[in-house]
Structure 1
């Protein structure tokens, strides 16, 4: 039987990769380098999923606009110094292999940079599972629908057969803007009430629940 959703487009950070804390700490450390006030954890969590410079402009609003590129470089230094300690959520590799075996086509739509995503995929050995990927530095940042439109166009899958899976309101709004369905995961960056406010098909609370939902509804 053909799956309901031919294309499953996954966010990366906080959805497949347990990197929320690493990203938050890297934003906070970069701001400290510039002598800025401590970035509140909730504010840093909220911008995860956006492209880096737009995210930093929200997380660290005190900085003059011309300095955000330097701040982004500081963030990258801190992030790449510690990201090797981060890994996939437990059960994710098995789930992705199962989904591919059931006939789903897998893609990644992420706010990461191309360098960041490629290094993460190399680190966890999953590059060959994804037929297409898009990053925020090669297309428009979430929630602009361009990223998801490009993935659907590349793979020849219509919006009604595409499901966006993510842990932030940016992911859910991306799906709404692109005309696709969305599934929220509640173990990443954004809170459950925030996610529910955008009316995803469901909100799942761990990887086993995600696997169960996709087996029964995907």
Structure 2
């Protein structure tokens, strides 16, 4: 078996494994309008994906006063719940994860979702038990703070050099950089890949198959 360069591969969720970017964008836009804010552009709404929920909503709706944040969060959750069953894994994700597990990698999720949201998503796509660990924004610091990755290092007793972070946003790659970990970007999610360059990812994958090919050759 080829020697592994990374013992733990940590994935972002939305826009990296889960095909949810456009629905999240629409839910953010609708929630902001519901509380009287100016509808954010698609680009502005997509930019905040990956952040902790309230941090993301506040950033996307700078004209909404803080006293309306609880209502803003509630409206986002309302819209997202209506579309939850419309979401699915990107094609090819399950074979990718199976190939990495067979190669002996440990797998984790590091996401801006809540613990409840991630657990529901894992249950809905029958992924219980596939991941060896996970961190969510409501139980640790949100991206790009490196705490999620630091906690995974401690959990698996691994140095930063043995962990690879994969994500679709600059928040993911900045978190990896802040933690001293290598990263890989994917171009099919929320952020334009041109923004990844300054964050020094080892690779930018343009499809799940591209990601799998690169990981099996270099991971």
TM-score, normalization by structure 1: 0.98
Q: How many residues align?
A: 218
Aligned residue runs from structure 1 range 135-150, under 5 A: 135-150=136-151
Match of 1:202? 203
Match of 1:19? 20
Contact 1:2/1:103 (8 A) holds in 2:
no
Match of 1:88? 89
Cα offset for 1:115? Answer: 1.0
SS at match of 2:108: strand
Cα offset for 1:35? Answer: 2.2
Match of 2:9? 8
Runs of 4+ in 1 over 4 A off after TM superposition: none
Contact 2:35/2:68 (8 A) holds in 1:
no
Cα offset for 1:75? Answer: 0.3
Q: Report the Cα distance in structure 2 between the residues aligned to 1:186 and 1:130, rounded to whole angstroms.
A: 23
Q: Report the Cα distance in structure 2 between the residues aligned to 1:113 and 1:21, rounded to whole angstroms.
A: 19
Match of 2:48? 47
Match of 1:110? 111
SS at match of 1:119: helix
Contact 2:27/2:79 (8 A) holds in 1:
yes
Flag structure 1 segments of 5+ consecutive residues without an equivalent.
none
Flag structure 2 segments of 5+ consecutive residues without an equivalent.
none
Q: Report the Cα distance in structure 1 between the residues aligned to 2:157 and 2:43, rounded to whole angstroms.
A: 38
SS at match of 1:84: helix
User: 1:43-101, CA deviations, whole angstroms, 9 ceiling, x for partnerless residues?
Assistant: 00000000001101110110111221221111011111102111000000111011011
TM-score, normalization by structure 2: 0.97
